[in-house]
Amino acid sequence: MPEAATSRNAPPPAREEQFNDLEQQTEAAHLGMWLFLSTEILFFGGLFGAYTIYRVSYPAAFAAASKDLLMWAGAADTAILLVSSFAMAMAVHAAQTDARRALTVFLLLAAGIGGLFLCLHGYEYYKDFAEHHIPGPSFRYEGGKAPANQVQLFFLLYFLMTGLHSLHVTIGIVILTVLAVQSWRGKFSREYYNPVEIAGLYWHFVDIVWVFLFPLLYLIARR
């Protein structure tokens, strides 16, 4: 095994020994990630199911509550995540063309823009807090167009769904930052960049979740 004598900082051998070739290794990694993403779809799916039931049951309350969300912030959230996804796609391309510097920059860019999303969403949470829209004993709703407890149910689902999503964004930022450091140290090459692609799949999935959350939460009532 000539690869055995690698030093600590040299790139690891591209192919793990259990795979016949690099193609098989990449395919196995993709299938594994998609399997994980299927469980993620159903993880979020439970919340989407609960949302559907209550939205059909209390359409007026959901429409009234949705009007209290900042629609333009939601639209900006979507745009921010789309830009971040684009940066991630470009990172994969940089890895495929052995552009180490570009890979590091694009990974940091994707992570940084993800951070911007969390900041904006944090501001929305702050507004909700100030307006007593956090479900619980201090919840208040003065709109009067719908029963307060039904409106509270909307906000409960809103915080659960966006909270779970923001948790995923946070995890994604950590992963992308770690990958950026590894890329800077030269861990990835044209032959071996599976972690970049797999992290990309995760990051795009987080984007997809938001693509559905935005119209379902922010755009119920016509403005």
**Least distance in angstroms from the C-beta of 132 to another protein:** 26
Q: Does 149 bind another protein (CB under 8 A)?
A: no
Residue 21 binds another protein (CB under 8 A)? no
Contact indicator for 107, 196 with CB cutoff of 8 Å? yes
User: Does 122 engage in binding with another protein (CB under 8 A)?
Assistant: no
Q: Is 60 in the site for another protein (CB under 8 A)?
A: no
Q: Which of 52, 140, 143, 174 binds another protein (CB under 8 A)?
A: 52
Residues whose CB falls within 8 Å of the CB of residue 179, separated by 6 or more in sequence, listed in order: 107, 195, 196, 199
> Which tokens hold the place of 145?
């167009």
How far is it, in rounded angstroms, from Cα 124 to Cα 130? 10
Please list, in sequence order, all residues whose beta carbon lies within 8 angstroms of the beta carbon of residue 39, skipping any fewer than 6 positions away.
none
Q: Which amino acid is at 170?
A: T
Name residue, tokens 């807090």: 129
Name the minimum Å distance from CB 157 to another protein.
15
In the complex, which residues of this chain contact another protein (CB under 8 A)? 23, 26-27, 30-31, 34-35, 37-42, 45-46, 48-49, 52-53, 56-57, 71, 75, 78-79, 82-83, 85-86, 88-90, 92-93, 96-97, 200-201, 204-205, 207-208, 211-212, 214-216, 219, 222-223
